[in-house]
Amino acid sequence: MRNVAIIGIGQVPVREHWDKSLKELGALALLEALDDAGRDSIDGLFVGNMLSGSLSEQEHLGALIADFAGLGGVEAVKVEAACASGAAAFRQAVLAVASGQKECVAALGVEKLTEFSGQKTSDALAEAADADFETSLGLTFVALNALVMRRFIYERKVEREAFAYFPMLAHANAKHNPNAMFRHDIQFEQYQKAKMIADPINLLDSSPIADGAAAVIVVPADKVKPSDNKIVQVLACEIATDAVALHDRAELLRLRAVEQSVQRALQTAGVTRSQINLFELHDAFSIMSLLSLEASGFMAAEEALRKIREGYFDVRGTLPLFTMGGLKGRGHPVGATGIYQITEAVMQLRGAAPAAVQVPDARIAMTQNIGGTGATVVTTILKGNQ
């Protein structure tokens, strides 16, 4: 099996893009990534997307975007794993190159969510959950996460307001990211007063839906100059799954798929947690950040609630989190999010992040993209050449 390297990245700003179709957004990110890579063709395209069918009445995105981007003829498919679709597409791109079948492959994440009614989008997002046993009962996707947060507050005996520091940090970082949706700070008092969406999740616990597209270009690692500062090595990319329905999980607060994918990724990469210089985790809701940190083996969730107030997760702290704003601050175009995370990690490892959020001496980054309430988890470990 060959090692794989990332040689190009591209992204469109995360926004409400009412004037651009799915294929336009996808092609823009893809062409920017090709330009960054200094290539004009690829031999494979994997498109991560969750809801093009349910919302835009458009499937077949692989061929559609390949053709629209002028890459007609190329092998192209769509990969779906709910909110983890982006990183799942990246995983297939890595496999295609690692297998020796392909020499230059693009992983593209693209999603359009904002031009539909709130009800329609909310219903569509619930397709990440179990239709027979969860959404058929009227549970929205936010409500499912609210059940988990409620249980956490009860079992771990913490105050709801302790969660405030996660979205506050996300916004503090997003402020410096020109591609982020929300470029302003939020204060503790705003969190206290924020509207309740699905008790105990309030507006600021919840990442915003958004439109966006991001792409990365991968090639065999032995085909690039190892001295090139732009090159980022893919040390590992591992997927694990768990029951989709919350009631089928062994423990409500335990993300087993996170545990498994992180263990496999660390083993494959041959690195330890202490070597991770930044962690782009999946803060779709504040509670998910906490459970992810715990299941990833970094620390107990209660400890994370304390450490965030001590600057531990700041860009100049011990384990910087969501350095470009994360899902909360950058925005969460679901099927594109996993690729935004990887794109942002690559910027950090190149030393090319906006100065205010550049992690000093970033050499190894972990990204984690979560589908549903924890049923699909993709953990990726990247290493820079700096």
- Which residues are designated catalytic? 83, 332
Q: Considering beta carbons, is residue 69 or 180 the nearer one to a copy of itself?
A: 69
Identified binder of a copy of itself from the candidate list 116, 150, 151, 241, rule CB under 8 A: 241
CB 103 within 8 A of CB 219: yes
Of 185-193, 218-226, 253-261, 354-362, which part binds a copy of itself (CB under 8 A)?
253-261
The residue type of 276 is: I
Binding flag, residue 142, a copy of itself (CB under 8 A):
no
Q: Tokens representing 19?
A: 């004037």
Give the number of other Cβ atoms within 10 Å of residue 344's Cβ: 29
Window 30 to 89, contacts with a copy of itself (CB under 8 A): 50-51, 53-54, 56-64, 66-67, 72-82, 88
Show the site string, 174-213: x = touches a copy of itself by CB under 8 A, - = not: ----------------------------------------
- The Cα 382–Cα 360 span in angstroms is 16
Tell me the DSSP string of 144-209: HHHHHHHHHHHHHT--GGGGGHHHHHHHHHHTT-TT-S--S---HHHHHHPPEEETTEEGGGBPPB
- The Cα 211–Cα 105 span in angstroms is 23
For residue 354, whether the previous peptide bond is cis, meaning omega lies within 30 degrees of 0, is no
Of 146-154, 169-177, 185-193, 369-377, which part binds a copy of itself (CB under 8 A)?
369-377
Q: Give CA torsion, residues 176, 322, 164, 81, to 10 deg.
A: 130
Identified binder of a copy of itself from the candidate list 16, 103, 115, 127, rule CB under 8 A: 127
Identified binder of a copy of itself from the candidate list 132, 161, 199, 310, rule CB under 8 A: 132
Binding flag, residue 13, a copy of itself (CB under 8 A):
no
Note the residues at the interface with a copy of itself (CB under 8 A): 1, 21, 23, 50-51, 53-54, 56-64, 66-67, 72-82, 88, 91-92, 95-96, 98-101, 123-124, 126-132, 135, 238-244, 248, 256-257, 260, 371-372, 375-376
